[in-house]
Amino acid sequence: MNTKITRPSWDEYFIKIAALVSERSTCLRHHVGAVIVKNKQILCTGYNGAVKGVKNCLERGCLRNELNIESGTRHEICRAVHAEQNAITQAAYHGISIHGASLYCTHSPCIICAKMMVNAGIKEVYAYHVYPDNSYKELFKEAGIKFHKIDHPNTEIKVLD
């Protein structure tokens, strides 16, 4: 057997998982996934979608589309919780400390998510898609959070059968 097996780097591995998590999204505009990692262990995940117990945009339609609201603006007019927010709140709900952890996300954060990351103790963020709102950059710089723009992962799943 002379098949050369290559393994993804840790960053490729976690960002690829974030991309897979994004498939659970119920948003009609963007599918976003987030994975919070510490010491190479996944602590929790999140995707963007409506809060628990209410109809999501797949069921009721997108209010932001109906009102022609530009992407990256007026976050309060949305039924969805962002992927990063869901990951952070899932950690809190289950009593998991994410202080000092890294967050891998399909998209760079909006300012609201960036604020939550600062207060949650996230130390670095990795993303492959740049979100229209770049106000997180100055906040991250001041708070000492490192941001890494990384390549879009190869989403092909390679397995030996």
Is 90 within 8 Å of 45 (Cβ atoms)? yes
CA distance 113 to 72: 12
CA distance 6 to 122: 30
CA distance 52 to 124: 28
CA 153 → CA 18, 26, 51, 109, 120, distances in Å? 10, 22, 28, 18, 26
- Clarify whether 84 is annotated catalytic: yes
> Which residue among the candidates 59, 66, 70, 84 is catalytic per the annotation?
84
Q: Under 8 Å CB-to-CB from 23, ≥6 apart: which residues?
A: 31, 33, 47
Catalytic residues: 84
